[in-house]
Copies of this chain bind each other. A is one copy, B any other.
Amino acid sequence: MPMNPSLLDNPKSDRIRRVADLANAKARRRSGRVLVEGPQSVREAVAHVPDAVSDLYVLSESEGADTEERSPTLAAIVDRAEQCDSIYIHRASEAVMHRISPNAQGIAAVVDMGALTSEESQVAWSDTPTIAAFWQVRDPGNAGAVIRAADAAGCDAVIFVDDCVDRFNPKVVRSTAGSLFHIPVLTMGADEMLAWCSAHGIAVVAADIYGTPGNAPRTLPDMLADRVAVGQSKAVLFGNEARGLPRQLLERVDRIVTIPIYGKAESLNLATSAAVMLFSLAMSSHMGRM
């Protein structure tokens, strides 16, 4: 829709309070809406789920809408949103944008949660699917980073297993850099995830340093050299940032794999491990051999 020429300049208005409240999970559940902050994520929301975007708030730096000079990045997003009938576009003062989110960098959007709540039916299965599963990922920045890595590595879906951070937390959304709008992010309990993988013929590969007495981890390069392992449908399961994967879950997976540490560092963090493992598998599987 064309931009509304009137300027929103009251940070204490009910409308703006309701938008800012979307930082809280309770307000998101009650309203069924999600706050998307920053140019990168908002651009991807407008491009990939335009019908789900209800309102767009753009920083206004002048009095009149006609005379406005906007950065090329923001202007391109506004242009695209103006072509979508469902999107109300609002000019907002600096105080209003700051009240909406200190991390908005000039632009924020309100998106319908229903359109983002991925169903299994939305998975566009590839020939040999790779799923990225995360058990109890808790840090919003990590959660966003792993969704982004899974998207970039061409995974078919992400599964958040058991008690993870809310995938609609604004910091998660921002950290995905738009990938939340590219790839289905499902939520399941551990039993459900294992049953789902089994029903789809997907092997579960846990990323873990220690393994179990009956199932020692093999190293990632060893797995990459194994064409059968690389070529099969798989879900790669990563553990919690601090505690890794629990023993009872490790005992129920098909394979355990670990990234070798060649230097003196003790470990890699979750986001780095996920990126290295998912990309190595993706490159290996795309190349036939590396």
Contact = CB atoms under 8 A, between A and B. Distances in A.
Q: Which of A145, A224, A279: most chain B Cβ within 10 A?
A: A279
Interface stretch (A3-11, A26-34, A91-99, A178-186): A178-186
A199 interface: no
Contact of A263 (B40, B145, B155, B283): B155
A220 interface: yes
A74 B123 CA distance: 46
Candidate in A220, A262, A280, A289 with the most chain B CB atoms within 10 angstroms? A262
A287 B152 contact: no
Nearest to A274: B272
Contacts of A266: 40, 177-178
B260 A286 contact: yes
B153 A263 contact: yes
A151 B275 contact: no
A11 B259 CA distance: 43
Interface in A174-202: 177-179, 182-183
A interface residue count range (under 10 / 10 to 19 / 20 to 34 / 35 or more): 35 or more
Contacts of A269: 145, 148, 177
Interface string A84-115: 00000000000000000000000000000000
A265 interface: yes
A243 interface: no
A154 interface: yes
A268 interface: yes
Interface string A250-290: 00000000011111111111011001100110111011011
A154 B263 contact: yes
B179 A268 contact: no
A221 B260 CA distance: 19
A53 interface: no
A149 interface: yes
Contacts of A216: none
B221 A272 contact: no
A75 interface: no
A225 interface: yes
Contacts of A283: 220-221, 224, 260, 280
Given A152-B262, A221-B283, A260-B286, 17 more contacts: A148-B269, A151-B265, A152-B261, A152-B263, A152-B267, A153-B262, A154-B262, A155-B263, A178-B266, A220-B283, A221-B287, A225-B287, A225-B290, A271-B272, A275-B276, A276-B279, A280-B280
Q: Which 6 residue pairs of A and B lie closest in terms of their CB atoms, listed nearest first?
A: A154-B262, A182-B264, A152-B265, A221-B283, A151-B265, A151-B263
